[in-house]
Chains A and B, each alone.
Chain A
Amino acid sequence: MSDEVVIGLEVHVQITSLRTKLFCGCSSNYRDRPPNTNVCPVCLGLPGVLPVLNEKAIEKAVAVALALNSKISEKIVFVRKHYFYPDLPKNYQISQYDRYGLVPVATGGRVVIDVGGLSKTVRIRRINIEEDTGRIVYPEKTVLGSKYALIDYNRAGVALLEIVTEPDFRSPREARIFLEKLASILEHLDVADTSLEGAMRADANISIGGRARVEIKNIGSPRDLEKALSYEITRQLNIVKSGGTIERETRHWIKERGMTVPSRAKELEGEYRYFPDPDLPPIPISKELIERVASSLPELPDSRAKRIAKEYGIGDYMASVLVLNKRLCDHFEHTARTCGNPKLISSILVNEFLRWLDEADIPLSTGILRLSADRLCKLVQYFEKGIVSIKLLKEYVRLAVLEDKDPDDLVRQGITTIGEEEELERIVTEVFEENPKAVSDALRDPKAINFLVGQVMRKTKGRADPKIVNEIIRKRLVEYGSK
């Protein structure tokens, strides 16, 4: 049996750009509100209330459908999806469905992602509009540790888009890049601020080598998606190796523990008892609306990547990574325009900045505050003036991102590259005097130069520019050799 990994995603995104919830006048910004204060009879599902659609949600959904190359349906039809759960005020969710002549807001579509320089097309199955649920809060943080649970309905009724892909991913990495790209598209469209806690959640379906499909719920970010899927692959392969079988099940990703755990009893689709919501007559999506939204679509990541690659001369790969996050790309363009050297800036952002954010799980917004345009520009200047070498520059980026260190302070503390030739000449002389054997080795074998360079770097505590040190040593060796 092959171990080919097949992954599909169901992504839920809150339309955070809407002022109010999907079917009532409560604010869609429920964050930081005292529990159960952002509610009304409608989103609490009191007896006798009726939903009234926030029609702006249609425009947002149409914009997303256009950006994902999906086919937009002729009308909006809402259905009721039934299941009992305490976070669901009506014990049914107003959603959409694609059977029995019912239609979601859009079907089909594709997103092209760049996986290590290769482009890959991910197919979209459908896009739904639906309402969010409330939040269950456990006083002791975990289900098992708590004697009771509390429910906060502030979130109940917030507009969600559910975007479902075909099972087109073959690795956790691909899934992650897709989710980043999707988030970036939504940011560019001004549909959602996906950096907000809980604004973007993914459920992943994974099947290895044609074995049973396992669903992983509760994944909160692209980074966690990659981790959860990698964990799950290891877990499943271990079971298979020890002769076990994979059960079809739903599991939960527990971010704090970095693992997936079995979920509550499996829900079967047949138990949802979908039927058209009699409170919400179908609403036609007019051609005019679609044309109006299409004509005002902003620049999207793909075209932006092409533009910045050309405009700043930074190469397609760099551009494709930068546009995976709108704020990152905005940060790049702003900094590049302010202080020039886009190649260096893009390289710092893509190769160093993102790496440290990911490693320490620091939110991008925090990272941008720490490696601000101001600091980035200073770094570029220091580098251009030879005050810091590329090696030290990278160290500065690390310190800025992880410890919020200001490059100015570091320079003031004298942590700079020793660019003064006289100073270096003096140190090289010292090293030559202390290591006569290495010098004679180097005279015979150019490879042995590295040892001498290393000694200089050690003496300067890494503050020397190795390139310059190398040049000085070679020059000195030539002088020695001719003697």
Chain B
Amino acid sequence: MFPPQCSQNSLISSLSIRALREKVREDPDFLFSYIEEIYKVIEKHEHQLRAYITVRPKEEVLRDAEALLKSNNLGPLAGALIAVKDNISTSGIRTTCASRMLESYIPPYDATVITRIKNAGGIIIGKTNMDEFAMGSTTENSAFYPTLNPWDLERVPGGSSGGSAAAVAACEATAALGSDTGGSIRLPAAYTGTVGLKPTYGLVSRYGLVAYASSLDQIGPIGRYVEDVAIMLEVISGHDPKDSTSLKVAAKDYGSYVVDRPIKTYRIAVIEEMVEEGVDREVMAVFNKTLERLESYGLSVEFRKMPIIRYSLPVYYIIAMAEASSNLARYDGLRYGLAQEVEGRLWTEVYKRVRSMGFGKEVKRRILLGTYVLSEGLYEGYYLKAAKVRRLLYEEFMRLFKEFDLALSPTSPILPPRLGEVIDDPLKLYSLDVNTVPINLAGLPALSVPGGFIRGLPVGIQVFGPHFSEGWLLNVARLIEVAGK
């Protein structure tokens, strides 16, 4: 099911990566009509949705397509138009992080994932809107404008990768890249009815991802189909010597897991704390229906308590903000980004001006809190303690996954909020991520797949598992996807 922007158009705009590739291999010129079609959708709807910060000129993309066809590099992504979150470095294409600080910054290098997408025959179509420096859950923290939810223009698309998810849902791109630090791929996937996957920490190179919280950040794909996400993951994953946290594991054929039957009799856990208080009744109904469908495949579902999970949000915010305060220290306007007149001023004055003008309110809040928790005398009580609890949480998950293969939860406890509904209350805003942040803290893989609709609004189901269980997640996601049709 697609939102109106997509379904109003011809079937071409909602083609899957594989279908597109097959058509292009059959008739290379089809790629040009596909590009025309996608740009038509963008021309028609982008002024409303505002999923992008930068859309590349159609002529440039057509030229790339020509070069691609000439090189005959019709790899797994042949011709796919990939929307890229604007915190992933693209050589020659402005990379703003939705911040005034980097409004005019044009990187001189490609992130590893961008190189891999290009090598696989993909074409970058543009850079998508997001919460500034990925700090937020609604895409309302963009310094430029909020992105709207294609299913209901009064609602947010989720964040922080809201632009990527909205662009994919509305058929303004074939698929997209997002980044997920505490739920920033899964939450917008859930709110836009798309599939979004956060890989195991270290599976996808972070080289070129503008860091928010380095020990939690991962790049991952967002697609309209489970299969698209599998193909994208296969392209972008694998060891990268430029990222010391990248793991030395071989790339897998994730596509082979996207089949309409369980390839294993999964033992599925539901953590009680993730479905208790705060979860919307209607969301729970969709979630329970999903469980029933999975049981009908002969899979077992059991409920388990995991009390420590309640500490996830505070632990997450201490670690994420501490790392953010460090990662964002480099923005001083001296080498790139927002510039200020320097002559006749003390450098400290210039730094103050640049950082006061360049960062938005939420970014400043997190830098201040992060600076606070790292200061002398407070470090042990905050950062060090949070790191210890994080370790305990990790061990608790390891125990869980000795008994179970996978776990399920609602991705978000509530339906997509209306614009302005949560943005002014940080605690309310942060609680949208209650079910997604524990996953990042433990470095686990997780995805969100549409489980059903309530009054025309999509509900996302989160599937997560032990490290490197992406294949199983995709298999189960496919079962949920099939059931939803």
Contacts and interface: CB of A to CB of B under 8 A. Distances in A.
Interface residues of B, number: 50
B245 interface: yes
Interface string A144-162: 0001110100000000000
Contact of A275 (B105, B242, B322): B322
A48 interface: yes
Contact of B332 (A49, A84, A269, A281): A84
Interface in B89-115: 89, 95, 97, 102, 105, 107-109, 111
Interface centre among A41, A46, A147 (most CB of B within 10 A): A46
A148 B215 CA distance: 38
A48 B326 contact: no
Interface hub of A53, A91, A280 (most chain B Cβ within 10 A) = A91
B384 interface: yes
A279 B245 contact: yes
Contacts of B332: 84, 86, 91
Nearest to B108: A41
Contacts of B322: 275
B342 interface: yes
Contact of A151 (B87, B88, B245, B334): B334
Contact of A273 (B214, B242, B351, B371): B371
Nearest to B325: A273
Contacts of A48: 87-89, 95, 107, 111, 207-211
Interface string B322-353: 11011001101011100000111001100100
B375 A281 contact: no
A391 B462 CA distance: 92
Given A89-B335, A273-B374, A279-B214, A47 B102 contact: yes
Nearest to B215: A278
A100 to B, nearest CB: 6
Given A80-B326, A82-B329, A275-B326, A47 B210 contact: yes
Contact of A47 (B97, B245, B375, B377): B97
A76 to B, nearest CB: 11
Nearest to B322: A275
A90 interface: yes
A270 B375 contact: yes
B242 A50 contact: yes
Nearest to B370: A273
Interface string A266-280: 001111011100111
A254 B326 CA distance: 33
B98 to A, nearest CB: 13
Interface in B206-251: 206-211, 213-215, 241-245
Given A89-B335, A92-B326, A270-B375, A52 B342 contact: no
Given A148-B342, A273-B374, A278-B245, A84 B208 contact: no
A171 to B, nearest CB: 34
B27 interface: no
Contacts of A271: 375-376
A45 interface: yes
Contacts of B206: 50
Interface in B60-100: 87-89, 95, 97
A264 to B, nearest CB: 10
A51 interface: yes
Interface residues of A, number: 35
A238 B87 CA distance: 58
B266 interface: no
Contacts of A309: none
Contacts of B108: 41, 46
Interface in B395-448: none
B344 A147 contact: yes
B380 interface: yes
Contact of B244 (A46, A51, A90): A51
Given A80-B326, A275-B374, A47 B244 contact: no
Interface centre among A52, A53, A149 (most CB of B within 10 A): A52
B176 to A, nearest CB: 18
B383 interface: yes
Contact of B207 (A49, A89, A148, A273): A49
Residue among B210, B330, B347, B383 having the largest count of chain A Cβ atoms under 10 Å: B330
B379 interface: yes
A47 B351 CA distance: 17
B260 to A, nearest CB: 39
A47 B95 contact: yes
B387 to A, nearest CB: 9
Contacts of B380: 100
Instruction: Give the one of A48, A52, A91, A149 with max B CB within 10 A.
Output: A48
A44 interface: yes
Contacts of B329: 82, 84, 90-92
Most B CB within 10 A of own CB, among A90, A147, A274, A279: A279
Given A148-B343, A273-B371, A47 B384 contact: no
Interface string A45-75: 1111111110000000000000000000000
Contacts of A90: 329-330
A339 B471 CA distance: 77
Contact of A44 (B87, B111, B242, B335): B335
Contacts of B107: 41, 46-48
Contacts of A279: 211, 214, 244-245
B336 A46 contact: yes
18 contacts: A48-B209, A48-B211, A50-B245, A52-B244, A80-B326, A82-B374, A84-B329, A90-B329, A91-B330, A92-B330, A100-B384, A148-B342, A269-B376, A270-B376, A273-B326, A275-B326, A279-B214, A281-B245
Given A47-B97, A48-B207, A92-B329, 7 more contacts: A48-B107, A48-B209, A49-B207, A82-B326, A271-B376, A278-B213, A281-B245
